Structures are given as C-alpha cells and as structure tokens.
Amino acid sequence: MAPFPREPETLGSDAATRALSVTAVESDFVERVYDKLAIVYDLTFGPTLHPGRIQARDRMGLQAGDRILEVGVGTGINTSLYPKTCHVTGIDLSRPMLEKARERVAREKLTNVRLMEMDATALTFEDESFDIVYAPYLVSVVPDPVAVVNEMRRVCRTGGRIIILNHFRSSNPFLAAIERAISPMTIHIGFKADLDLPAFLAQAKLEPQSIEKVNIPRIWSLVTCVKR
C-alpha cells in the first residue's frame, strides 16, 4: 500500500479553509441525478470501476461477524462482495437506486444485507455501531462531504476502519485546470471532477493510513483510515 503522501499542497495552511470544489449542489439535485442513473448505473459504472471496489473490500480486513455500513449503496453492486458471515447495512437517498439494490439482494439471496433509505449527513444509527464504514464513489457528489464523513466517523467504532473510494482532483496543474472547468458538467453524470483531496482530508480531519490509486485510468483514489 502506498503511504499517505506528505506533499506540499497537503501541508498548505489554506487546505483547512479553501473550497473543496467549484461546483455546489443541493441534495434534491443529487437525488434527481441518481434517480435517473439507477437504470443504467451498472452498465456505465459497473465494470470500469469494479477493480476499485475489490481493492476497497480487500483493505477492510474483514472478519466473521464484522458490522459494515456502506454509505451510498446505490444499486447494491457491492453487496455480493462481502462475506456472508458479515452483517451489511446499505443506505442511500435514492429510492430507484434502492429498488435496484433490493432486487439484487433478493435475487442473490443475501440474507446478511439490510437496505435503508437515509440521508448520509443525518445517520439514524447510534455512536460506534459499525466496525467498517465505507463510502464508495460518493463524496464527490454530495453537497457536504465533510458532514458525511463526520457522520461516518461517529457511527464507526474506535479502532474501526473508515474507507473512502472516490475521484479527486489531479495534482497535475494542467489536468486540475481541466477538471475544474468540466466539473459543472460532470455533476450531471454523478460526480464533481475537481474535489480537492488535501482540503477534503484537512477539513474532514481524516488521517489516512494509505492512499492508493485504483482503476484504469488511475484517476480514482482509495483512502483507508482507522478511527482513533
């Protein structure tokens, strides 16, 4: 695993205060986008992003009896990846996405999985309810990614893992400029192209054990943290 890169940008004094993205969205807009994507999500984002999902699962260090919360379960594409000895809870704000997930869970007879409609910024679970809290391809689309991580941290047990799988803005200035320019358009297909990783880590108060590039092209990052 690649260690957390202590780059100058990461240590910059403005990381804790600068804007995470040029693109602002509201919850109802995000919900509408994913309601529309529900029918085609598995075809468009299934195979291309699946290697990252497998790697994220492997970084969880799963053991029998582990309680997993997947924040933004979508169509349930990850649900069959978890051992059936683990207890999986998946939440999402999009009803059409959850309908697809429920169909998948029923079809694959996944009795260890429960699905719930819920806002990621206002989880209804008690503190320290889960051993692993995982957000796959989520934080670059929600209106307030820091609020989501705060809730993820709250419901994760001390010593548990918080895992973020997402696209973040490139550290290459030329590519970063392109990502800023196209971000207002990419939000319509489900993500902000210019989410600032150092600013996100600083403002969410995350201290990663590792940050790894995943998928092809390797523009997606797998951030693995342990709750202290």
**pLDDT for position 123:** 98
Secondary structure of residue 66 in the 3-state scheme: coil
State the pTM of this model.
0.91
**pLDDT for position 189:** 87
Could you read off the pLDDT of 154-211 as tens digits, one per residue?
999 999 999 999 999 999 999 999 999 999 999 988 889 999 999 999 999 999 999 9
Is a pLDDT exceeding 60 seen at residue 84? Answer: yes
CA torsion sign for 168, 114, 107, 103 is negative
Per the structure block, which two tokens stand in for 174? 């030329």
DSSP 60: T
| Maximum alpha-carbon separation in the chain | 50
Is a pLDDT exceeding 90 seen at residue 61? Answer: yes
CATH architecture of 8-226: 3-Layer(aba) Sandwich (3.40)
Could you read off the pLDDT of 2-47 as tens digits, one per residue?
444 433 344 455 899 999 999 998 989 988 989 999 999 998 899 9
Q: Specify the DSSP element, H or E, that contains 197.
A: helix 197-204
CB burial of 53-73 (b: ≥16 within 10 Å; e: otherwise) equals bebbbebbebeeebbbbbbbb
**pLDDT for position 111:** 98
